[in-house]
Structure 1
């Protein structure tokens, strides 16, 4: 994984520990840094101003994946363990991260309601393991929804309900973690954008677990995620590209989906296929012109993806300014729009 050359530290008080609507009344009441990747010019405003930032004819692409409750508690011969779902393999099996106790291959762990699972072995990379549930399909998902919770990382102080980990437009369950770049959108903002002539369309990419704890992150080139792109989105995006209009991705997940589905310079429909695409500063974007995203940790591969849009030095200067301006990080934090031609 590429690392930033100049590390930056996120002060503890800039880790967003609560949803914006509980801090400031509405989910769209967050800061927005508008960043021109060519000039490095930065504008600091409120997210609601994004209505004035986009132009008629722009295409805004959203990820409609819905977060599932991915943290479960279980026990076994080695004691209690938190089971963090990492990626669905099939109707019975998940790659998981076992937190709290280490279990070996062929050992059983036990959940509520008599649900049993067996550790099958190593996952796609350390420290993930494969867990085979004796229940599968709909009954397993019902159990997950009844007894699971969102994954709470160390900066989260309160057990927020699953509803706080959804975007207003999410509709297809499957993401391990929230597709957080779209969280600040409200139906009011989306309606105003449509009235202005901005085209709204959707992809679905189900996120895998993005953090393994103890400063351990997934290997970007070995991080498969399932995605789909409907024909309506393909048509809207291809027409916009042919006419020279901007395609704006809401989140790194949307960038990954769009850029994974290119054939001969055009977007193609996809249905529940895996992508292994790793995007960094060496990647030439073919579909995506601009990116709305949150603020990312220096170790995260999401930050590598941003370097496909913007020079690393310009990005780091902007991030250091965001720190001075006390922007908030993580899924409940503030937003960053990387787009040329804005001031």
Structure 2
């Protein structure tokens, strides 16, 4: 399916290139634009005032996936012959088969049977090519906690061109991240602090967690743009979280998703009636939301498929007008940027 993503002009200087902490701000002091779903009216505030826009009894759902250092470097061998002493390997998404990942190997000419040596303790073999895709499927020699311990010592976080400094992995984590697996940070939750979560709870605004590991969104080749349906991600929602969601809905209160990953997971549960699985759900203005009443998210770049999802919450007209206001008010974009509550 061709995406319906919206286009607009985003000045380069509004791409947040450094974490708020490096700009002299606490993470929960980034800016907040609140967009009314019905009227399209926008209000401008700071994120630590979030409770002013929610009601007692509302339920916030957070993604507790932890960002991994998904960029690795390896020696590349074919038939035991060294091809190059340093090749970049970007993990794209984890598979349910143990120790198996889709990965972007730069350059992308790796073949089945090629071996990648990351260290004396870790290597991987190319086991499949992905058709016309630049991705390759690779199988590591380690799995589970042993695998993650090794890549945490070897790798670095994915960094796109608007990031001008190799920030430490800690800057790519939410305070509540607990389950490693996301190639890119589930960034909508980054602005939360423990103090803010406690403040919300003291006002009877509760929170629960789901888990969805995010994949690699950009494959370094503009000529290959996977559709949202090709972006398959694994999700898990606990029985406790689902019970709390149903109770919230039954009592007439709102379920607020923190990030597009949470929307995708919860709406996938609504469709499949399964609390865990792999989803390729693509949400647009034509999709009737079944669980989620509002979304807290960052600002998305022009033509991003995430914008399609936002039109399930608010009309294209209201969304584009709000983004125009955000640009005029110098809001910052991307994972280190400002926040947008649509409710």
- What TM-score comes out, normalization by structure 1 length? 0.92
2:31 aligns with 31
CA distance in 2, matches of 1:92, 1:125: 23
1:284 aligns with 288
1:139: how far off? Answer: 3.0
CA distance in 2, matches of 1:128, 1:263: 29
- Contact 2:65-2:213 within 8 A present in 1 as well: yes
1:72 aligns with 72
Query: Helix, strand or coil for the counterpart of 1:146?
Result: helix
1:269: how far off? Answer: 6.3
2:334 corresponds to which of 318, 330, 334:
330
1:207: how far off? Answer: 0.9
1:235 corresponds to which of 228, 243, 259:
243
Q: Quick check: 1:61 aligned with 2:61?
A: yes
CA distance in 1, matches of 2:148, 2:132: 24
Q: After the TM superposition, which of the residue ranges 174-183 and 135-144 deviates more from structure 2?
A: 135-144
1:223 aligns with 231
For residues 115-174 of structure 1, the C-alpha deviation after alignment (integer angstroms, 9 at most, x for no partner) is 332222223861211112233344322221110111111111111111111111111111
1:85 aligns with 91
Query: Helix, strand or coil for the counterpart of 1:262?
Result: helix
1:2 aligns with 3
The 4+ residue runs of structure 1 with deviation greater than 4 A are none
CA distance in 1, matches of 2:106, 2:315: 37
Number of corresponding residues? 334
- Contact 2:266-2:291 within 8 A present in 1 as well: yes
1:110: how far off? Answer: 2.1
- Contact 1:29-1:184 within 8 A present in 2 as well: yes
- Contact 2:108-2:135 within 8 A present in 1 as well: no
- Contact 1:124-1:222 within 8 A present in 2 as well: no
1:24: how far off? Answer: 2.5
Q: After the TM superposition, which of the residue ranges 45-54 and 138-147 deviates more from structure 2?
A: 138-147
CA distance in 2, matches of 1:323, 1:88: 36
1:244 aligns with 252
2:312 aligns with 308
1:114: how far off? Answer: 5.3
1:213: how far off? Answer: 2.3
For residues 76-107 of structure 1, the C-alpha deviation after alignment (integer angstroms, 9 at most, x for no partner) is 24433211111112222110012345322222
Please provide the CA RMSD for this pair. Answer: 1.8
CA distance in 2, matches of 1:263, 1:12: 39
CA distance in 2, matches of 1:149, 1:237: 36
1:179 aligns with 186
Q: 1:44 to 1:244 in 2, by over 3 A?
A: same
Unaligned 5+ segments in structure 2 are 77-81
- Contact 2:61-2:262 within 8 A present in 1 as well: yes
Query: Helix, strand or coil for the counterpart of 1:143?
Result: helix
1:300: how far off? Answer: 1.9
Q: 1:263 to 1:91 in 2, by over 3 A?
A: closer
Q: Quick check: 1:275 aligned with 2:256?
A: no
CA distance in 2, matches of 1:299, 1:145: 33
1:327: how far off? Answer: 0.9
CA distance in 2, matches of 1:241, 1:140: 40
CA distance in 2, matches of 1:263, 1:330: 29
1:199 corresponds to which of 192, 195, 206:
206
Unaligned 5+ segments in structure 1 are none
Q: 1:125 to 1:280 in 2, by over 3 A?
A: farther
- Contact 1:211-1:218 within 8 A present in 2 as well: no
